[in-house]
Amino acid sequence: SKINVVIQDGSLEHEKVEQIAAALIDGIDTIDFRPDILSLVSLSVGIVFDQSLDQPLDDILAKCDSAMYRAKFDGKKRFTIYQSFDRTLEISRNIELEMEDALATGQFHVYLQPKVNMITNKLYGAEALSRWVHPVDGVRAPDLYIPLFQKNGFISKLDLYVFEEVCKLKASWEGKKYQHVPISVNMSRLHLYNKHFTEDLENIANKYGIPTNELELEITESTFIKDTHELIRVIDLLQSRGFLVSIDDFGSGFSALNLLKDMAVDTVKIDKEFLQVSSNTARGKTVIRSVIMMCRDLKINVVTEGIETKEQVDFIMRCGCPIAQGFYYAKPLPVPEFIEFADEHLTDIQTNFHFPFNGSLDTPDHTKTAAFTGPGTLHYAPGIYKDSLAVQFEGGAMEKNVVEVPPEVICNDSFSVSMWIYPEQAHSWSSALYVKCETGFYTICPVAWESHSDFRIRDSREVNGWYDLSGLQLQPDIWWHYCITYNAMNETATAFINGVVVSRLENVPTNHFVKRILVGGDVFQPSFIGRICEVRFYNDALDFDEIKELHQSYINDENFVANPAMVS
Ligand code: C2E
Ligand code: CA
Ligand code: CA
C-alpha cells in the first residue's frame, strides 16, 4: 500500500478540505480498472487540522496516520479527521508495520483443532488456525489481526503460508498413524481473484508429496453471496485437482442455502453462533435438524462447530451429524499437543461393529451391548464354528424374544449388514433383521413372497415407497450367510447370499436417522424362529469383492462347520 501526504498552510476552510477528500475518494471509482483489480483498490484519507508548527513533523504525521488507520478500519473509502489518541488504532498500525517481518521470522504458528466423530470418539480431521506469537505481546488471537489482514490484503500471504506449514507438517508425519488425517485451512475470498490460486496450492501440495484429497479449503458463507460466479469457478477448479472444499460458518448470515444446488461442496460447517442461538429453542432446533437432513440428502458432509456441552453433543448426534469441532472435545492445540490428542484418539476410526452372539450379546471389546427383549429366556445353540454358539430365537408375537442392538451402530446413510441365519420354521414375513429409521425402515425376511427371501426397504415419505430385493428362500435347517448393502451415494441397494449377489435395486431413496435395530423380529410380524450369529454392521457400503472376501474368510476358517448351501 502507498501513503501520500499533503501539508497545507492554513488558508483552507475545514469544509473545503473535507470536500477535496470526498472528491478524491469518489474519483478513484471513476478510474477504469479491471474489476478484479478494482476490488483491491481503495483510498482512505486521514486529516489532521490546526497543528502548531513547533512540534516535530513526525508527531503530526503520526496523528495523520492514526486518522487514516481509523478510516481504513471503519471500512476504507472514507476520510476521517484526527481526534484523539486511540489505543486500538495504535495496535492496528503496529500490526501493519510488523506483519511482513512477523511472517518472515516465523511468528505465525499453526494450531490444530481436532474434528471428532461423536459416535466413536475418534479423530476425524483437523482445522488449521493461525496464532501470532508476538515476541513482546505473547500470543495474539486471530480476532486481533485477521479482520485487518482482510482489509489490507495481507491475508492472502498468511493463508498460503498456513497452507504450506500444514503440508510440511503432514510430510513430517509420514509413517505415523495420523499421517492421513485430513486438515482444513481457511481461505479468504481475496484468493478468488488470483488466477493462479489453484495451481499455487497444487504446487505446494506436490512439493511436499501430500495427496490433495487430504487437504480441505474452508470458505466462509458470506463469500458465497458476493462472488458467486468466481466462487463456482474456483470450487470446480479446486475439486478437479482433488482438493476438498467446505462452506464455513454456514447459517451465520445470509444463508448460502440456495447456492448448494449449484455448488457440489464436500462439507458444510454449521456456524458456532448459529448452533448456540438455535439450540435453545424448538424452532431453532428444527432449522438445524433440517439443514443437516438436507445436506445428507445432497450427499454433503456436515461438521458442527462450537460444540461445548454434552447436551449439544446429544442433540446434534440425534440430528444425524456425527462430526463435531468444539471445546467440548478440544481447543485449537499447538502441534505437539495435537499429536498427543491424535495418538489417544486412534485415527483408524471404528466404523464396524461385530456381534458374534457366541454366548454373549456384547461386541468382543464390550463397547457395545445388545439386549434380549424376552419374555422368554435367552438361549444359545450351536453356531457356524466348531464349539461356537448362536442365539436361539424361539419366536413369539411381534417384538417378543428378539435382540435389540444399540441403534448407533448404524450411523451412516451408507451401510452394510452381514449375518448368518439358520431358519428352523419357515414363517412368511418374519424378520431376521429390522432397522427402523425416522423416515422408513429396512428388513431382511428369510421367507417373504412365495419361496423367496426379501430385503425390503420402506420409505415412509412416499405413499408407494416400497422397495423389494428378492432372492431365493432361505431353506430351513441350513446356515445361510446373508448380507445387505445400501449405498447412499448412488442410491443402490444390494442383497447377497453366501457371498454372491442375488438382487440389486437402483433409485432407492436414502433413509435417515436409525432409531432401533432388532435382530430376530420386528414390530409388525411374529418373531423369527431359528438361529442367528455373527452379526456385523458396517458404516459403509461394501462392494462385491469385499462381501465375497468376507464370506470366504468364514468358510475357509478351519473351525467352520456349517455347510452353506450353494448359490449360483
Ligand atoms: P473459524 O474459521 O470459524 O474457526 C473456528 C473458530 O471457532 C476458532 O477461533 C476456534 O478457536 C473457535 N472455536 C472452536 N470451537 C469452539 C467452541 O466450542 N466454542 C467457542 N466459543 N469457540 C470455538 P479462532 O482460532 O480465534 O479463529 C477465529 C477466526 O479467524 C476463524 O474462524 C477464521 O475465520 C479466522 N482465521 C484464523 N486463522 C486463519 C487463517 O490462517 N486464515 C484465515 N483466512 N482465517 C483465519
Ligand atoms: Ca474455519
Ligand atoms: Ca467457522
Q: Whose CA is nearest to atom 22 of ligand 1?
A: 306
Query: Which bound ligand lies closest to the C-alpha atom of 110?
Result: 1
Q: What is the pLDDT of residues 517-567, one digit of tens each?
A: 999 999 999 999 999 999 999 998 999 999 999 999 999 999 999 776 655
**Measured CA angle at 545 (ends 417, 532), to 5 deg:** 30
| 248 alpha carbon – ligand 2 mean position (Å) | 5
Q: What pLDDT score was predicted for residue 567?
A: 52
| 325 alpha carbon – ligand 3 mean position (Å) | 9
Contacts 24+ apart (CB under 8 A), 46-55: 46/70, 46/71, 46/79, 46/80, 46/81, 46/82, 47/17, 47/18, 47/21, 47/79, 47/80, 47/81, 47/82, 48/81, 48/82, 49/14, 49/17, 49/81, 49/82
Q: In 295-432, which ranges are E strands?
A: 301-305, 323-325, 333-334, 352-355, 371-372, 379-382, 389-394, 403-405, 415-423
Report for 4-13, 16-25, 162-171: range of highest mean pLDDT: 162-171
With cut-offs at 50, 70 and 90, classify the pLDDT of residue 350: low
Rounded distance, CA 303 to CA 216, Å? 13
Rounded distance, CA 149 to CA 30, Å? 26
Choice from 107, 143, 146, 327 to test ligand 1 binding pocket (greatest atom count within 8 A of CB): 146
φ and ψ at residue 111, rounded to 5 degrees: -100, 150
Please give the residue that has the higher pLDDT: either 430 or 259: 430
Rounded distance, CA 121 to CA 464, Å? 39
Q: What pLDDT score was predicted for residue 256?
A: 65
Count other C-beta atoms under 10 Å from residue 420's C-beta: 23
Rounded distance, CA 90 to CA 337, Å? 34
| 308 alpha carbon – ligand 2 mean position (Å) | 17
Within 6 A (CB) of ligand 1 lie 113, 129-130, 141-143, 146, 155, 158-159, 162, 186, 188, 248-249, 272, 305-308, 325-327, 332
Helix boundaries (H) for 319-410: 335-344
Task: Enumerate the β-bridge partners of residue 380.
Answer: 391
- Over range 413-419, report the average pLDDT: 94
As to burial, measured by CB atoms within 10 angstroms (0-12 exposed, 13-18 middle, 19+ buried), residue 496 is buried
Share of the chain above pLDDT 90, in %: 61
Rounded distance, CA 59 to CA 45, Å? 17
Q: What pLDDT score was predicted for residue 111?
A: 97
Least confident of 30-39, 265-274, 490-499: 30-39
Residues ≥6 apart with Cβ < 8 Å to 417:
410, 433, 435, 444, 483, 484, 535, 536, 537, 538
With cut-offs at 50, 70 and 90, classify the pLDDT of residue 92: confident
Contact 424, 477 (CB under 8 A): yes
Q: What pLDDT score was predicted for residue 26?
A: 86
Q: Whose CA is nearest to atom 13 of ligand 1?
A: 306
With cut-offs at 50, 70 and 90, classify the pLDDT of residue 5: confident
Contact 185, 162 (CB under 8 A): yes
Ligand 1: atom nearest CA of 308 is 18
Q: What pLDDT score was predicted for residue 568?
A: 43
**Measured CA angle at 49 (ends 47, 51), to 5 deg:** 125
- Over range 273-288, report the average pLDDT: 89
Count other C-beta atoms under 10 Å from residue 270's C-beta: 29
Q: Whose CA is nearest to atom 11 of ligand 1?
A: 332
- pLDDT of 349 > 70? The answer is no
End-to-end CA distance of the chain: 75
Query: Which bound ligand lies closest to the C-alpha atom of 218?
Result: 2
Choice from 111, 129, 163 to test ligand 1 binding pocket (greatest atom count within 8 A of CB): 129
Q: Hunting for cell 458463507 — which residue is that?
A: 221
Q: What is the pLDDT of residues 354-411, one digit of tens each?
A: 999 999 999 999 989 999 999 999 999 999 999 999 999 999 999 999 999 999 899 8
Rounded distance, CA 547 to CA 482, Å? 10
With cut-offs at 50, 70 and 90, classify the pLDDT of residue 327: very high
Share of the chain above pLDDT 70, in %: 95
Contact 381, 479 (CB under 8 A): no
Q: Whose CA is nearest to atom 15 of ligand 1?
A: 326
Least confident of 24-28, 161-165, 542-546: 24-28
Q: What pLDDT score was predicted for residue 348?
A: 54
Q: What pLDDT score was predicted for residue 8?
A: 80
Residue 161: strand, helix, or coil: helix
**Measured CA angle at 478 (ends 561, 567), to 5 deg:** 95
Please give the residue that has the higher pLDDT: either 137 or 546: 546
**Measured CA angle at 128 (ends 127, 130), to 5 deg:** 140
- pLDDT of 118 > 90? The answer is no
Which residues keep their CB under 5 angstroms from ion ligand 3? 248-249, 305
Ligand 1: atom nearest CA of 161 is 41
- Over range 40-67, report the average pLDDT: 81
Q: What is the pLDDT of residues 444-461, one digit of tens each?
A: 999 998 789 999 999 999
Q: What pLDDT score was predicted for residue 351?
A: 75
Please give the residue that has the higher pLDDT: either 264 or 181: 181
Contact 122, 116 (CB under 8 A): yes
Q: Whose CA is nearest to atom 33 of ligand 1?
A: 186
- pLDDT of 62 > 70? The answer is yes
Residues ≥6 apart with Cβ < 8 Å to 114:
123, 124, 125, 126, 325, 329, 330, 333, 338, 341, 342, 345
Rounded distance, CA 80 to CA 75, Å? 11
Count other C-beta atoms under 10 Å from residue 492's C-beta: 16
Q: Hunting for cell 435367552 — which residue is that?
A: 378
Least confident of 308-322, 463-477, 481-495: 308-322
Least confident of 197-206, 246-255, 366-375: 246-255
What value does the mean pLDDT of the chain take? 90
Q: What pLDDT score was predicted for residue 314?
A: 87
Please give the residue that has the higher pLDDT: either 416 or 138: 416
Ligand 1: atom nearest CA of 150 is 44
Query: Which bound ligand lies closest to the C-alpha atom of 270?
Result: 3
> One-letter amino acid identity for 273?
E
Rounded distance, CA 425 to CA 529, Å? 6
Q: What is the pLDDT of residues 210-231, one digit of tens each?
A: 999 999 999 988 777 677 788 8
- Over range 171-180, report the average pLDDT: 92
